[in-house]
């Protein structure tokens, strides 16, 4: 896989707090952008928390099949708890066993007592278990001690930063569309009980592959904003928590299709967070911010796993995101295409 490496727009957390200018926002998310912004100078505890959570992804993915099965939720279309082999590879249409995912509803960000959406939403959308089902957590043991606590803390931090990104986006969109609801995107990020986190474990390669979607096929996120950590690579032949300082394969990682349909490799520094525009943001901004196609390219190095965390900041099911659909109706279309 060859692709141009391009540095995304990068801002500090303080700059986000004080407000970034329209030119910077347009470079990050506008019509000619990569649809991604990187935030640096995060709280000091971020890096240690990231490493703990991402190491735990390998431990979780290597639990006995019986235990993983207990963490599955077919009713929720495998979008709560553990999921592996339930999505299809774009290249072959076959089940994707190259990665496993642990999905978490982030309603605890709004109310720490919640493990799923509020009761009124659950009652109003009985056929949307993918969003309304409560979280499933693994039994903690030595290598998964404080897994639930750490994952929640990391998700909360990512959503806090996403709220600042959203605040800046709101100002920009409002200047263009006067009828745009004040603080709409920030409200969604801050108050939604349907935001999802996906802890991803890309299993070590079983051999060489020239296929670009061998680890994660090209797609659009259907969130408003997706918060991303940089990936942690683990040599599982030396233990499930034996993380590597850097990626062993410079071609592995996140690739974005830019507006000229060129494939661009984007590197996220490990002490930073990235925020990517999703198709729901494209809807609410009436196309001013564009969602970007992207995929993950694996490594052919044996025994090397890749772990990362994505937090999909998305509206509650009853929120209108265009003239015709609320988020429940909109996401129905997307999920049917992926499963």
What tokens were used for 338?
């992926």
Q: How far is CA 92 from the centre of its chain?
A: 24
CATH of the domain at 148: 2.60.120.330
Mean pLDDT of the chain: 88
Q: What pLDDT sits at residue 209?
A: 52
DSSP annotation of 192? -
What's residue 34's pLDDT? 87
Of residues 182 and 296, which shows the higher confidence score?
182
Q: Which tokens sit at 157?
A: 């931090």
More confident residue, 166 or 26: 166
pLDDT attached to residue 45: 95
- What pLDDT is attached to residue 257? 82
**What is the predicted pLDDT for the residue at 54?**
97
Q: Please state the rounded mean pLDDT for residues 291-296.
A: 81
Distance from C-alpha of 73 to C-alpha of 61, rounded to nearest angstrom: 16
Predicted local confidence at residue 199, as pLDDT: 97
With 70 as the cut, is the pLDDT of residue 91 above it?
no
Q: What pLDDT, in 10s, does the model give residues 198-209?
A: 999 989 876 555
- Segment 54-68 shows an average pLDDT of 95
Cβ 77 vs Cβ 335: under 8 Å: yes
pLDDT given for residue 279 in this prediction? 86
pTM confidence score: 0.93
Residue 151 has pLDDT above 60, yes or no: yes
CA quadruple 229, 230, 231, 234: dihedral sign: negative
Which pLDDT score is estimated for 1? Answer: 43
pLDDT at 331 over 90: no
Q: What is the pLDDT of residue 249?
A: 83
What pLDDT score does 217 carry? 62
pLDDT over 90 at 287, yes or no: no
The domain in which residue 73 lies consists of 4-338
Q: Which residue from 251, 245, 290, 248 is spatially nearest to 269, judged by alpha carbons?
A: 245
Cβ 278 vs Cβ 225: under 8 Å? yes
Number of domains in the chain: 1
Q: List, edge to edge, every strand of the sheet that includes 4-5.
A: 4-5, 263-266, 253-257, 294-297, 216-219
């Amino acid at each position: 896989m060859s692709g141009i490496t391009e540095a995304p727009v990068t801002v500090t957390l303080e700059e986000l707090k004080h407000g970034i200018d329209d030119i910077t926002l347009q470079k990050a998310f506008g019509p000619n952008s990569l649809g991604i912004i990187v935030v640096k100078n995060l709280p000091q505890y971020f890096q240690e928390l990231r490493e703990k959570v991402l190491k735990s992804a390998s431990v979780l993915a290597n639990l006995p099949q019986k235990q993983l099965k207990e963490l599955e939720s077919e009713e929720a279309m495998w979008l709560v708890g553990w999921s592996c082999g339930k999505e299809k590879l774009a290249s072959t249409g076959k089940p994707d066993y190259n990665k496993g995912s642990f999905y978490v509803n982030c309603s605890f960000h709004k109310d720490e007592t919640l493990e799923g959406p509020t009761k009124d939403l659950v009652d109003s959308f009985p056929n949307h278990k993918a969003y309304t089902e409560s979280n499933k957590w693994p039994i903690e043991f030595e290598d998964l001690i404080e897994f639930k606590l750490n994952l929640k803390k990391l998700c909360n931090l990512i959503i806090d930063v996403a709220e600042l990104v959203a605040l800046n986006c709101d100002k920009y969109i409002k200047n263009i569309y006067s009828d745009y609801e004040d603080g709409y995107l920030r409200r969604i990020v801050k108050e939604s009980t349907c935001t999802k986190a996906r802890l991803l474990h890309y299993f070590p390669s079983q051999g060489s592959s020239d296929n670009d979607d061998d680890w994660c096929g090209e797609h659009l996120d259907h969130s408003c904003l997706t918060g991303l950590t940089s990936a942690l690579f683990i040599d599982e032949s030396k233990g499930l928590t034996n993380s590597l300082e850097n990626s062993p394969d410079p071609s592995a990682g996140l690739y974005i299709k830019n507006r000229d349909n060129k494939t661009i490799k984007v590197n996220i520094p490990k002490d930073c967070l990235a925020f990517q525009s999703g198709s729901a943001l494209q809807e609410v901004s009436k196309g001013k911010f564009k969602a970007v196609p992207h995929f993950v390219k694996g490594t052919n190095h044996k025994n090397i796993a890749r772990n990362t965390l994505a937090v999909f900041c998305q509206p509650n099911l009853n929120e209108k995101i265009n003239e015709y659909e609320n988020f429940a109706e909109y996401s129905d279309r997307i999920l049917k295409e992926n499963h």
